[in-house]
Amino acid sequence: MGQILAPETSAELLGWSPRRSSHTLADGTPVTLYVQFSPEGAAVSDLGSTLPLIRRLPPLARIAVRATCRTNDVQIDRGTLVVHVPPGGDVSEAVDRLGRVCAQLSRTASEPGCPSR
pLDDT at 9: 55
Render the burial of 52-65: b for 16+ CB within 10 Å, e for the rest: eebeebeeebbebb
Neighbouring-strand partners of residue 45:
34, 82
Main-chain dihedrals φ then ψ at residue 62, nearest 5 degrees:
-65, -40
Q: How far apart are CA 37 and CA 116, in angstroms?
A: 33
As a whole number, the mean pLDDT across the chain is 84
Each residue's pLDDT tens digit, 34-55: 999 999 999 999 999 988 767 7
> For the packed helices 59-71 and 91-109, what is the interaxial angle rounded to 10 degrees?
160
Each residue's pLDDT tens digit, 95-108: 999 999 999 999 88
Q: What percent of the chain has pLDDT over 70?
A: 82
CATH of range 7-109; options 3.30.1460, 1.10.8, 3.40.1710, 2.40.10:
3.30.1460
pTM higher than the cut 0.85: no
